[in-house]
Structure 1
Amino acid sequence: MKKHQHFIINKPWGMISQFVNPAKRKKKLLGDLYDFPEGTMAIGRLDVPSEGLLLLTTDGKVSAEIRSHKYEKEYYVQVDGVITEEAIEKLKTGLEIGIKGEKYITKPGKSFSIEDPKFPLRSMKIRDERHGPTSWVSIVIREGKFRQVRKMTAAVGFPTLRLIRVRIGEIELGNLEIEGVKEVTNF
């Protein structure tokens, strides 16, 4: 019986969380980072402008387990403006967003303001002080609808400028290098 392999990566901004480029866009793919074994799949994805923790595996059962509601996913989000306590409360309790043209109420989660986590600058500058203040918030959810976190911050009036997944369950991004790949024996 073939032994499954698992990987932890720090997906950089601008990379597609896939091994195949369906639209033939001029973007880097996961396979450009490392020679992954055949059958490796991303466990959940991050959109092209998102960064951070991405888990990969050759085991479909592990993928389904981690994508389930059993595991928290934590994101550090830089938003446009100084986020209010009222907005943070709405992020915690659930709010209406649109998913594929349908109204969807997000499940309750956790959210709180954080200090600037001082991540390395990304390859494309976000903006500078002339455009007004920004702030950071931690958002913890157990679901993962299409662009959910971005839609949540926009729904409370603070659009996302930068989104970095820092944790899935007990696995943390930690100090994994940008574009770093780490093979692990299990999650």
Structure 2
Amino acid sequence: MSGIILFNKPFGVLSQFTDERQGEPRPTLAAYIDAPGFYPAGRLDFDSEGLMVLCDDGRLQARIADPRFKLEKTYLAQVEGEPTEAALGALRRGVRLKDGLTRPARADRIADPALWHRDPPIRVRKTVPDSWLRLTITEGRNRQVRRMTAAVGFPTLRLIRWSVGQWTIDGLAPGEWRRG
């Protein structure tokens, strides 16, 4: 049976166990997880937070990460502005990006989810409100959710992956992990 680890990746942590970049070292998964043989099933941007699924089975790892299997990923996105129904409709139909049309997403405005404090906090502009969206996608393009919200006129300020398929970060504080 394959082993699964669910990890709530904090902001500013690489989604890998080593940092190959020259210069000032950046925090990696190794600072949080000591489980030999486990590897990330997909990536999460350095400046994004939330669920990472790690596993010790290469075939399962590929199945989780491969967009062909259309495993749903749900994100909570704090965006600049107050998205209109037209913007949400565009996200629901699919958005044209430089690398093509995205698959349709489930997109809804939600109340402030009252999450953990982020360090550093997002930039706040007194003259521009912000709001929260829940977006569910079945692809995994580079910085896809950020590019989608920007394409409809509402740039992402904070992005948290809440779930991948059946797995969620519910009950996991940033930097914590548990077996799945």
TM bucket, shorter chain: over 0.9
Q: TM-score, normalised by structure 1?
A: 0.90
Question: What is the count of residue pairs matched by the alignment?
Answer: 177
Which of residues 47, 50, 59 in structure 1 aligns to 2:48? 50
Change (3 A) 1:121 1:131: farther
1:30 and 2:29 equivalent?
yes
Matches within 5 A, 1:60-139: 60-68=58-66, 69-98=69-98, 103-128=99-124, 130-139=126-135
Shift of 1:70: 3.2
Q: Distance in 2 between matches of 1:7 and 1:170?
A: 13
Segments of structure 1 that go 5 or more residues without pairing to the other structure are none
Measured against aligned partners, the alpha-carbon deviations of 1:113-163 in whole angstroms (never above 9, x if no partner) come to 111101111010112352520010111011100001100001000000000
Shift of 1:8: 0.5
* Percent identity (aligned): 40
| Displacement over 6 Å in runs of 4+ | none
Give 2:97's aligned amino acid: I
Shift of 1:34: 2.1
Shift of 1:104: 1.1
Give 2:8's aligned amino acid: N
Q: Distance in 2 between matches of 1:161 and 1:109?
A: 19
Shift of 1:170: 1.3
Segments of structure 2 that go 5 or more residues without pairing to the other structure are none
Measured against aligned partners, the alpha-carbon deviations of 1:83-139 in whole angstroms (never above 9, x if no partner) come to 1111111111101112xxxx3110112111111101111010112352520010111
CA RMSD of aligned residues (A): 1.4
**SS state at 2:63 partner:** helix
Q: Distance in 2 between matches of 1:26 and 1:70?
A: 34
Measured against aligned partners, the alpha-carbon deviations of 1:21-45 in whole angstroms (never above 9, x if no partner) come to 12145321001102121x3211111
Q: Distance in 2 between matches of 1:86 and 1:170?
A: 30
**SS state at 2:30 partner:** helix
Q: TM-score, normalised by structure 2?
A: 0.93
Q: Distance in 1 between matches of 2:133 and 2:41?
A: 24
Q: Distance in 1 between matches of 2:107 and 2:8?
A: 22
**SS state at 2:21 partner:** coil
Q: Distance in 2 between matches of 1:6 and 1:138?
A: 25
Give 2:15's aligned amino acid: S
1:143 and 2:139 equivalent?
yes
Give 2:33's aligned amino acid: Y
Shift of 1:5: 2.7
**SS state at 1:165 partner:** strand
